[in-house]
Structure 1
Amino acid sequence: MAHVPQIKIPATYMRGGTSKGVFFRLQDLPAAAQVPGAARDALLLRVIGSPDPYGKQIDGMGGATSSTSKAVIVAPSTRPGHHVDYLFGQVAIDKPFVDWSGNCGNLSAAVGSFAIASGLLDPSQVPRDGICVVRIWQANIGKTIVAHVPITDGAVQETGDFELDGVTFPAAEVQLEFLDPAAEEGEGGGAMFPTGNLVDDLEVPGVGTFRATLINAGIPTIFLEAEALGYMGTELQEAINGDAQALARFETIRAHGAVRMGLVASVEDAARRQHTPKVAFVAPPRGYTSSSGKAVQAADIDLLVRALSMGKLHHAMMGTAAVAIGTAAAIPGTLVNLAAGGGSRTAVRFGHPSGTLRVGAEATLVDGQWSVTKAIMSRSARVLMEGFVRVPGDAF
């Protein structure tokens, strides 16, 4: 029988923050995949190597974790005041599903660099040396991200001495500003706190009732208290991911939290929305040893945070969840703020499984409603490989 040959598509494999993904220019995708729909999803699934019942993504570019099963599409912006539009797809590993419901804060750090190197910015907008400010329209959630990309000799500078816990080697620092990160369009009625409360009692039938801060900032997130779950907040991946019962409990909590936040109509619907909301648990500062063997001292952090992504404890911290952490920490009375000691603050340094991360946020109370103008953090990004990805011609 005749077999359809493979086709090749221009692509770049990049690390952004503590994630990796395959980046495409919209114009380079096959025509059928240049618009949202089944063809686009099928193409990205095949590129990444999903669905894979073995859970390894051997026949694709994915790395068999939520941090490495990602795809990005970038195009010249149709939005006034922006350089590029950025669309993020979280590709399920063992299911035929691409989740477009949220952003990836880590890969956001690579979008500006990719846009510059791919010719998506007018050369006159790129300085010979210095910082190129790239205004990015995050199309998944309808928000603006401003990336400050270092430029040397007219090209993106990728090497440097900026160290990021969860990333082995130093690189150039990329500062990100997430403007007006709260109240994502279409999420929970457009409110930062969709229930109207800083802390809710989240009832989860068969599991228990937990105090929770439900927030839409960066990405919809359910914050819980570590102690109420039987944890200390110093846990590493194996403590959670090796416990099937614990993972099932977290997924049940996530599903009920999604309903409470107005993100889905029923707990059953949450299974089709894996990327959001996130679940995280917080605790006051305590010393621990990170996954790399680095000692994290209690005096060096404001609080502990552990977060789950796509059903597993994340090895570090999702960038969008870091925005949620910074935002919640800036608002007195949330569980995140209380774990950090309470009071007013404009930045926090939190401990995660791979080390620490600092994130800042500016929050104000206006007419009884909290608003956040921006959240700021530094990441790094680097091209790992560029050229073409190949997929069977009938894969989409």
Structure 2
Amino acid sequence: MKFNSLVIHGGIDGDEKTGAVTVPIYQTSTYRQKKVGQHSGYEYSRTGNPTREALEKLISDLEGGFRGFAFSSGMAAISSVLMLFKSGDHIILSDDVYGGTFRVVDKVFKNLGLEYDFINTNDINDISKYIKKNTKAIYIETPTNPLMKLTDIKEVSKIAKENNLLLIVDNTFMTPYLQKPIKLGADIVIHSATKYLGGHSDLVAGLVIVNNEELGNKMHFIQNSVGAILGPFDSWLLIKGIKTLHVRMDRHCENAEKIVNWLKEQEWVKKIYYPGIEANENKIMQMKKFGGMISFEVVNEEYLNKLLSNLKIITLAESLGGVESLISVPAKMTHASIPAEIRDKLGITDTLVRLSVGIEDVEDIISDLTLNLK
């Protein structure tokens, strides 16, 4: 089945018992058993729920994985993946990651004995220098958040396999419509499904997809043991959002490309960070299109304040990937938890802006970004 059909008919398509076209919301906590230990496949909704299972099978189909798992947030998904490792294990992570990822590694899992290095993973030659005897995984974002740096998944996969390491890829920005990490060699894929997969800023969710049965058994044990599961209503909402993923992503990409070309002509824009620019410069062509995320640096705080006070269509808010355009200042919002000295080193300045391009009329978005410099 082609992707555009798979988003609609993948996973569990409708309900066989009633003929319902959409998967029902099984809003229940427990299930009747005929005898002790004899049930219909479900016993308690933390362990398994039919609506959540439909979502989990759908995202596994879309990513080309072995098994999928739905969690209560993107951070719950990331934290559950990190629970695969034990005290004394070492992992390598992209240095320019979402602030919440940095925080949970540096402030939570560090206290549990996890060792780590945040490095520039888009420099493939640099990765091997950080591999130790206790290294267990490489964790990458591509594109990164917020500087849109790309890492060659296929090349990192070669390094991971040579050293018997897991390769974990956060695919939130690209979605399985634009990029397929498992096909490129990843073992685990993570999504903040709050973003493009949900697509309507009406839910918080996380997804994990694994490429083999062993990892599937381990992730299910963690999911069931910790219990950070996605509820049935949000699972249903997420299935609903995914059905239009391909249509929305095409418009996100189209609008973003036009806005990037417009930003190149603006004198108040110091630098633009966009996957299309990075891909062409580094000849990394692992995505179908370049997504709807743009970051750009404004020449000074005066122009930044003018920009933020000019907004009518674009919303100043955290998060991304909704049908509406959202703008943020990462250093003061999504990445404020990263120490200032690390932000400065990475290039996450106080005048860096991150724009999640929505699916509105592109001329209205550009009008919001147009500054009167007099």
Same fold? TM cut 0.5: no
TM-score, scaled relative to structure 2: 0.30
Bigger helix fraction:
2
TM-score, scaled relative to structure 1: 0.29
Bigger strand fraction:
1
